[in-house]
Amino acid sequence: MIRKLCVIGAGTMGAGIAQVAAENGINVVIRDVETAFVERGIGTIRNFIGKKLEKGKISQDVHDQIVGRVRGTTSPEEGFAGVDMVVEAVFESLELKQKIFAEADRLCKPSVILSSNTSTMSITKIASATSHPERVIGTHFFSPVPVMRLVEVIRGEKTTEAVVSSAVEFCKTIGKTAILCKDVPGFIVNRFLCLLYNEAANQIHQGMATAQDIDLGLKLGSNHPMGPVEIMDLAGVDVVYNALKALHEMTGEERYRPSPLFAEMVRENRLGRKTGRGFYTYEA
């Protein structure tokens, strides 16, 4: 059972993972490289929980308990002290992740589960930086973490059955549903999503359909809550482009070759909502 968790990386995903863990009774230490980053992550959590209190969704008591379960640090030793599990959510770089896993492997006792939130990296490759690859696993959360219900649990080549079961149990404890994935590029969900986004961009690029019609088509004809083009603008056209490039490179499969429209849009800084213009145009 996971009672104490260390989350490495206090960014978008790390703060979200720390929040859902704390909300479900787990003590969390968030570690980042600078105190300002740690504080920003903890600030995001306090903000979310504070809104729940304001809206009357939780009592002052529950609010204080959740907030009290989250601590921050920049020290590896302090971050790992007494934890049952480590979830890494730093930048998507194999070199950085391997460095962090090697350090966690050195500083944590062998029973501690070491997990990565990577979207694209091989868990087996990350685990190869440790001397206990059997305790390394992938737990791929979706953004925004407090809202999205799924976690993809990825078994590396040497991950033990016991570690897989503990990770699935951990997901259940924090209110998520786990699905088991092979250590293949894009795991399960992103392999589908990237195809959908690429098809939408190709249809627009080739003049086969408008962004509006694609979004309406999938919302009304297939009950998607949001259209794929709207989602690309929200996530960032550059982010989707990079994900496709990575999948194409890793799989070598033609179907993941990014539509030429992505490179064009990135060149023109049409990155979606964040730059005011993507597939759609947004008011300032």
Please, which residue, 63 or 273, has the CB nearer to ligand NAD?
273
Q: Please report how many Cα atoms fall inside a 13 Å half-sphere around the Cα of residue 140, on the Cβ side.
A: 24
> Does the annotation count 119 as an active-site position?
yes
Binding site for ligand NAD (CB under 6 A): 8-14, 31-33, 37, 89-92, 96, 100, 117-119, 140-141, 143
Give the residue at shortest CB distance from ligand NAD: 11
Specify the residue, 10 or 194, whose C-beta has the smaller distance to ligand NAD.
10
Least distance from ligand NAD to the Cβ atom of residue 51, Å:
20
* Residue 248 is a catalytic residue: no
Pairing mode of beta strands 177-181, 27-31: unpaired
C-alpha gyration radius of the chain = 20
257, burial (CB in 10 Å: exposed 0-12, middle 13-18, buried 19+): middle
- Of the candidates 140, 198, 230, 259, the residue annotated as catalytic is 140
Residue with smaller CB distance to ligand NAD, 94 or 209: 94
| Options 27, 190, 198, 259, the catalytic residue | 190
For residues 90 and 204, which CB has a smaller minimum distance to ligand NAD in the complex?
Answer: 90
Distance CA 9, CA 164 (A): 23
Say which of 119, 122, 198, 259 is annotated catalytic: 119
d(CA 172, CA 267): 43
Question: What's the min distance (Å) between Cβ of 76 and ligand NAD?
Answer: 8
b/e map 54-77, b = 16+ CB within 10 Å: eeeebeeeebeebeebbbbbeebe
User: Contact 146/22 with Cβ under 8 angstroms?
Assistant: no
Whose Cβ is closer to ligand NAD: residue 57's or residue 106's? 106
Q: Nearest distance from residue 143's CB to ligand NAD, in Å?
A: 3
Question: How many C-alpha atoms does 118 have within 13 Å on its Cβ side?
Answer: 32
Which of 27, 152, 230, 248 is catalytic? The answer is 152
Q: Which residues are identified as catalytic?
A: 119, 140, 152, 190
